[in-house]
Amino acid sequence: MLVGLGVSAVCAVAALIAAAGAVAVALPGRPEPWPVHLLRRAAATAAWAAAAVYSLGLFAVLGSEAAFDDGANSVPAPACRDGFDPATIEGLSHHRSSYLPLRFDCVRGDGSVYTSDPDYGWMNGATAVLALTAALLAITAGYTTELRARKAPAAP
């Protein structure tokens, strides 16, 4: 679990550094053409932020998987039992986990399912939005570069 927090922290620091680079484009002495640099740095910021959020959830799922069948009182998975009232965990038979999208679902004997942690929902959503934003910003930067090259006068 500590490794997961470390990876997420590294990605978050990288996102902050990329965001500082994007802000630096607005200051005097900025590189030209500044719109392309701003788009690229904003894309890097969004990509690092997506990696930070995803790694936080990934290591949470890995931690839940690791706690399953790991000694006494580990079956069913502790993530499915800890913090839930007895009526919720009644009839618990097994669990299902997924890394894309992130989830750790607890399954009862009758087939009904409940999630072990509702935070996976916002982690999946935030990761998708940030990754899509990064891709769109990178594509826009490439398009802007191409458009600038086509508008430039041809060298004789």
Beta strand segments in the chain, E: 92-99, 102-108, 113-115
- Does residue 22 fall inside a structural domain? yes
Residue 31 lies in a domain: yes
What the block records as the tokens of 151 is: 């508008």
- Domain count for the chain, please give it: 1
For residue 101, which of 59, 54, 68 has the smallest C-alpha distance?
54
Q: Domain limits at 38?
A: 2-151
69 lies in a domain?
yes
Q: Could you tell me if residue 135 is inside a domain?
A: yes
Half-sphere exposure of 124 (CA within 13 A, CB side): 13
Could you tell me if residue 129 is inside a domain? yes
Quick check: is 133 in a domain? yes
Establish if 156 belongs to a structural domain: no
Q: Is residue 14 part of a domain?
A: yes
pLDDT in 10s for each residue of the chain, 156 residues: 566 667 778 877 888 887 787 777 777 776 677 778 788 888 988 998 999 899 988 988 888 888 777 666 666 778 887 778 887 778 888 888 888 899 888 888 888 888 888 888 899 999 999 999 999 999 998 888 888 777 877 655
